[in-house]
Amino acid sequence: MSRVRTPLLAFAPIPVGLLLLLLGHARDPLALHLAQSISSPSGAMPLGTDPLGRDVLARLLVASGAALIGLYLSLGVSTIIGVTGGSLMGWTAGSWFDKLGLFVIDTVFVIPTLLVLLALFTSLEPSTLRTYLALGVVGAAGPARVTRNELARLRQSPVAIAQRALGFSTARLLLVSLLPLSASAAVRSMTTYVPELLGYEVGLGFFGLGTPPPTPSLGRMLYDGLNQIHVAWWLWLGPAVTAILIGVLLRSVLLAVSAGDRKAA
């Protein structure tokens, strides 16, 4: 069995996110300067200030660092739930468990997921941890479906038949032979859903249900920017550009991981 080599880029979001958080907190994202409410970018405040006179650059750094780390961990949760659930579904393809799983996955894809998340956090008290945990659970639908289909196919493959004939246990067959073969497809499928997960994060914040204030979040910064759109361009431009950059970075990370997997397999 060849060693799965994961490229360094795969771990990049954690140090990058921590660095952003550190830089942001060094500038103090919460300090109020009510005298300088909504002032345009200057030397001391490179991205200007918001209606409460807080430093937009500091808030942007903290919000993007948190989003980067949070979404990266959400993707981890999605992988664990998706691959575990999907492989059980694929292994028992056609069973009631498989049917129930497919039903849940279909529901997630068809119903506007952001609405469901909004409903969830209207009822439960929003928190940062709960936000990313919920995103991780919702994001599991994609990898679960791919893993399920891959395993349902691989179960009948010559590899599986040969190994069963050799007397290998089901656990060994599943964990050592078949899962690595389907992992790359599962990770690649997540590259499609990363933008949507980021969209849910921004959407929850936009509706005021993501990370609770006063801690900054990209979505809430965009909402505040929308309310001042004809007054202050610096309030919405930064968060909008940053959201796009985070999406691109997370996607490249996933592409690098799945490419590394394919080379090893």
For other proteins, the closer of residues 14 and 248 by Cβ is: 248
Name 167's Cβ contacts closer than 8 Å, sequence gap at least 6. Answer: none
Q: Which residues pair with 49 in a beta bridge?
A: 55
User: Min. distance of Cβ 114 from other proteins in angstroms?
Assistant: 5
For other proteins, the closer of residues 81 and 173 by Cβ is: 81
For other proteins, the closer of residues 185 and 264 by Cβ is: 185
> Distances in Å between the alpha carbon of 137 and those of 92, 133, 215, 238?
22, 6, 24, 29
* Structure letter (DSSP) for residue 215: S
* Structure letter (DSSP) for residue 55: B
* Structure letter (DSSP) for residue 156: T
Structure tokens at 22: 């550190």
Label residues 241-260 b or e (16+ Cβ within 10 Å = b). Answer: ebbeebbebbbebbbbbbeb
Q: Does 226 bind other proteins (CB under 8 A)?
A: yes
For residue 51, how many other CB atoms are within 10 A of its CB?
14
For other proteins, the closer of residues 123 and 156 by Cβ is: 123
Using CB under 8 A, which residues numbered 103 to 162 contact other proteins? 103, 106-107, 109-116, 118-120, 122-124
* Among 140, 236, 238, 253, interactor with other proteins by CB under 8 A: 236
Q: 174: closest CA among 101, 95, 91?
A: 91
- Taking CB under 8 A as the rule, which mask of x and - marks residues 177-216 in contact with other proteins? ---------------x--xxxxxx-xx--xxxx-------
* Among 34, 129, 176, 244, interactor with other proteins by CB under 8 A: 244
Stretch that binds other proteins, among 17-25, 54-62, 165-173, 223-231 (CB under 8 A): 223-231
| Cα–Cα distance measured from residue 237 to residue 105, given in angstroms and rounded to the nearest whole number | 35
For other proteins, the closer of residues 173 and 190 by Cβ is: 190
For other proteins, the closer of residues 173 and 221 by Cβ is: 221
Residues lying near other proteins in the complex (CB under 8 A): 102-103, 106-107, 109-116, 118-120, 122-124, 192, 195-200, 202-203, 206-209, 222, 225-226, 229-230, 233, 236, 240, 243-244, 247-248, 251
